Amino acid sequence: MTPPEQSGATSARLRIEGLDAVPGPDQAGITATIAALFAGFQQRDVGLLTGIYTDDADWVNAFGSVKKGSAEIIAYLRGLFADQNFNDGRLAAPPASILRPVTESVVIVSTHLQVTGQGLVGGGVIGLRDNHSVHILQKQPSGQWQIISEMFSDARQDLSYISHS
């Protein structure tokens, strides 16, 4: 992830392939939610994440932490953003996202990003985190698009299936 002083370019670098599959007003709402998500992570600022998760959202990170509801997710991220091991990570390139509409009020945004240099508890670093995430957004009665489910996964280098790609 980039340090806060470099994060102003978040929305300028935000690209969501397939965004044109939803109406213009929805494009703006979806983009605002995803931009707030990326900016919150890049700036390590949970204040930017306020209101992007529903009260009953579910969230799973790449290390198996499971959280339920906006308050629990935000509390966890507050601690994560204060952790030096997490803060040592730097984006290798801007995130690449693809949107797939499910219904008029539900979309899936899949994102791929790579992070280098994230520290490990007990020492050492993760050379390269090749991270994939799925963000399921639902349009609320207010018109706002919020995240109802989010899951992060890191590609692994070890194999358990011979035809793994």
Quick check: is 114 in a domain?
yes
Quick check: is 128 in a domain?
yes
pLDDT band at 27 (very low <50, low <70, confident <90, very high): very high
Mean pLDDT of 145-154: 97
Total tally of structural domains belonging to the chain: 1
pLDDT above 90 for 147:
yes
Quick check: is 162 in a domain?
no
Kindly report, residue by residue over 75-124, the tens digit of the pLDDT.
999 999 999 999 999 999 889 999 999 999 999 999 999 999 999 999 99
Mean pLDDT of 27-47: 96
pLDDT above 50 for 68:
yes
CATH number at residue 67: 3.10.450.50
Quick check: is 104 in a domain?
yes
Q: How far is residue 88 from each of residues 64, 69, 116, measured CA to CA in Å?
A: 20, 27, 8
Range in 1-10, 29-38, 88-97 with the lowest mean pLDDT = 1-10
Quick check: is 44 in a domain?
yes
Which residue range is the domain that position 150 belongs to?
4-154
Quick check: is 161 in a domain?
no
Quick check: is 25 in a domain?
yes
pTM of the model: 0.87
Quick check: is 160 in a domain?
no
Kindly report, residue by residue over 119-143, the tens digit of the pLDDT.
999 999 988 999 999 999 999 999 9
Distance from C-alpha of 135 to C-alpha of 34, rounded to nearest angstrom:
9
